[in-house]
């Protein structure tokens, strides 16, 4: 008799749990707009299912400045429903962007209270369904950016834990992407291909016409005359480029032996990659250098500062993808909004390239940070000394022109 009662209790519990779980819909945070004007902050939800989802029990909770307050610092109870394979947009009553206003389903009674370092959670029937941002941390991860969920909309799956690589950072204020999937960069495969050089940069001057010390963002053809190491090469003066050494913007590859520096792990590998794979046989390639708009043309040591494109591929991207640079960082500056491919900043592509290197334990993302990752072939980890200036190493990734 006791066994029968026990089995009945277990079955009842399982049915109750399943019933609760079935009440939690597959509803996702598909886009977050941390707008340049906070009045235009917005959140987009998507229903990837074939059933209408009622929002009567749905709540948006926002946690400010690392808060973990129970229930959030702000709670927004939604109304209405989302039709199958459809969107639902929440914005504030002070919104000024007309596209946002026209596509809003629910208007909050003030500005949506987040600023790029705050956490947004989606709750249904008091159960968390999806999360955007890392709870308990006050870090800038989406300031002045349009964050769009990675992947195709039909494959969206809500997550109870935040992963920064579940979202693609687009330019701010991309309200034309509300309630559609017209954005062109959607998948890891596309991000892993790297950015391409858009025609508009070919039509721009290298030097700012109003200030000859600043870059304007133009990409001009040059001749390569030598390579110093993994993040420095030499180019002939032509087409607005003043000539001489170019320090690769965004990068800091490990050192090789020099007048004031000593070799570091992966230093000679990074140098080899730049010399023997990216800039080898330069007369057979189309090489362009691109200045950084609004940024100084030179760095503190008198070297030019910019981007290097080989046969339409961004050298910086491929160096980062092989794990041969220090971290590129995650804070977007004003120039990052001016250096884009299909409305995605170059920095976004670099961050995903770095992510892949970390996942695989390649280069500087390998040993000892990743005990199972690669060890540098130019380094003795016991004696902490360089062993060769010509390491045996081949790239993991095929360059796009090969």
CA distance 75 to 287: 53
Residue 144 included in any domain: yes
**Residues 78, 216 within the same domain:** no
| pLDDT average, residue stretch 307-321 | 98
Q: Are 274 and 229 in contact (CB under 8 A)?
A: yes
Q: Token match 């090469």: residue?
A: 233
We report the CATH number of the domain holding residue 238 as 2.40.50.90
We report the CATH number of the domain holding residue 81 as 2.60.40.1260
> What percent of the chain lies above the pLDDT cut of 70?
94
91 membership: H or E segment, kind and range = strand 86-92
Region for residue 46 given its phi and psi (left: phi exceeds 0; alpha: psi -120 to 50; beta: otherwise): beta
- State the greatest distance between any 2 C-alpha atoms of the chain, in Å, as a whole number: 93
Lowest mean pLDDT across 10-19, 92-101, 166-175, 231-240: 10-19
Tell me, what's the pLDDT at 260? Answer: 87
CA distance 167 to 187: 10
> Is residue 402's pLDDT more than 90?
no
Tell me, what's the pLDDT at 6? Answer: 44
| Sheet-wide strand order for 167-170 | 106-108, 86-92, 42-47, 28-33, 146-149, 167-170
For 29, phi then psi, to 5°, come to -80, 110
**Residues 148, 67 within the same domain:** yes
**Residues 304, 160 within the same domain:** no
> Is residue 24's pLDDT more than 80?
no
CA distance 95 to 21: 36
Tell me, what's the pLDDT at 19? Answer: 40
Residue 7 included in any domain: no
Tell me, what's the pLDDT at 171? Answer: 98
Q: How confident is the model at residue 7 (pLDDT cuts 50, 70, 90)?
A: very low
CA separation, residue 86 to residues 45, 46, 92, 151 (Å): 8, 6, 21, 16
**Residues 117, 218 within the same domain:** no
CA distance 284 to 290: 20
Q: Are 374 and 322 in contact (CB under 8 A)?
A: no
**Residues 244, 103 within the same domain:** no
CA distance 55 to 124: 8
- Reference 171, options 270, 34, 3, 321; nearest CA is 34
Residue 17 included in any domain: no
User: Hey, what's the torsion of the CAs at 372, 374, 380, 386, to 10 degrees?
Assistant: -150
| pLDDT average, residue stretch 128-142 | 94
Residue 20 included in any domain: no
CA distance 212 to 315: 25
**Residues 31, 114 within the same domain:** yes
> Is residue 12's pLDDT more than 80?
no
**DSSP 3-state assignment of 100?**
helix
Mean pLDDT of all residues belonging to the chain: 94
Rounded to a whole number of angstroms, the CA Rg of the chain reads 25
**Residues 220, 176 within the same domain:** no
Tell me, what's the pLDDT at 120? Answer: 97
Distance, CA of 39 to chain centre: 25
Q: Are 354 and 320 in contact (CB under 8 A)?
A: yes
Q: How many beta carbons lie within 10 A of that of residue 111, not counting itself? A: 18
Structural domain total, the chain: 2
Strands (DSSP E) found in 291-394: 304-310, 313-314, 340-341, 344-345, 379-380, 385-386
Q: Token match 């050494």: residue?
A: 245
Please write the tens of the pLDDT for every residue from 211-222.
999 999 999 999
**DSSP 3-state assignment of 220?**
strand
Encoded tokens for 90: 């929440």
| pLDDT average, residue stretch 201-220 | 97
**Residues 176, 206 within the same domain:** no
Q: Are 204 and 218 in contact (CB under 8 A)?
A: yes
Tell me, what's the pLDDT at 23? Answer: 67
**Residues 236, 159 within the same domain:** no
| pLDDT average, residue stretch 370-397 | 97
| pLDDT average, residue stretch 21-37 | 87
**Residues 269, 328 within the same domain:** yes
Of 183, 216, 238, the domain-final residue: 183
**Could you tell me the residue range of the domain that residue 265 belongs to?**
199-386
> What percent of the chain lies above the pLDDT cut of 90?
91
Residue 115 included in any domain: yes
Q: How far apart, in Å, do the first and last CA atoms of the chain sit?
A: 74
Residue 8 included in any domain: no
DSSP 8-state class, residue 311: T
**Residues 168, 247 within the same domain:** no
Residue 296 included in any domain: yes
Residue 168 included in any domain: yes
Alpha-helical (H) ranges within 46-179 are: 98-103
**Residues 102, 228 within the same domain:** no
Q: What share of the chain is helix, strand, coil (3-state, %, to 5)?
A: 25, 25, 50
CA distance 224 to 261: 25
Encoded tokens for 298: 């030179």
């Amino acid at each position: 008799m006791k066994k029968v009662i026990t089995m009945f209790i277990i079955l009842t519990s399982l049915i109750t749990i399943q019933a609760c779980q079935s009440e939690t819909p597959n509803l996702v945070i598909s886009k977050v707009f941390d707008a340049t004007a906070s009045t235009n902050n917005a959140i987009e939800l998507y229903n990837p299912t074939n059933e209408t989802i009622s929002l009567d029990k749905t709540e948006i909770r926002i946690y400010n400045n690392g808060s973990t307050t129970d229930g959030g610092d702000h709670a927004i109870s939604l109304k209405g429903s989302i039709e199958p394979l459809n969107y639902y947009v929440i914005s504030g009553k002070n919104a000024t962007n007309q596209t946002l206003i026209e596509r809003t389903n629910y208007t909050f009674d003030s500005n949506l209270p987040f600023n790029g370092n705050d956490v947004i959670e989606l709750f249904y029937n008091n159960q968390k369904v999806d999360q955007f941002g890392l709870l308990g941390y006050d870090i800038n991860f989406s300031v002045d950016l349009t964050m769009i969920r990675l992947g195709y909309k039909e494959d969206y799956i809500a997550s109870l834990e935040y992963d920064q690589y579940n979202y693609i950072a687009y330019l701010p204020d991309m309200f034309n992407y509300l309630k559609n999937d017209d954005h062109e960069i959607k998948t890891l495969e596309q991000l892993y291909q790297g950015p391409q050089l858009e025609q508009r940069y070919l039509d721009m001057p290298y030097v700012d016409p109003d200030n000859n010390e600043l870059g304007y963002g133009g990409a001009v053809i040059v001749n390569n005359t030598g390579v110093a190491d993994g993040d420095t090469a030499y180019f002939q003066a032509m087409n607005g480029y003043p000539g001489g050494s170019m320090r690769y913007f965004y990068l800091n590859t490990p050192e090789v032996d020099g007048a004031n520096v000593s070799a570091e792990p992966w230093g000679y590998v990074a140098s080899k990659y730049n010399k023997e794979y990216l800039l080898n046989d330069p007369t057979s390639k189309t090489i362009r250098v691109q200045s950084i708009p609004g940024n100084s043309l030179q760095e503190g040591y008198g070297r030019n500062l910019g981007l290097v494109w080989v046969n339409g591929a961004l050298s910086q991207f491929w160096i980062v993808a092989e794990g041969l640079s220090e971290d590129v960082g995650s804070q977007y500056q004003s120039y990052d909004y001016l250096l884009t491919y299909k409305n995605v900043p170059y920095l976004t592509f670099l961050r995903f390239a770095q992510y892949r290197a970390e996942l695989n334990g390649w280069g500087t993302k390998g040993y000892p940070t990743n005990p199972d990752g690669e060890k540098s072939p130019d380094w003795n980890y016991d004696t902490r000394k360089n062993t060769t200036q010509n390491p045996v190493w081949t790239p993991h990734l095929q360059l796009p022109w090969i």
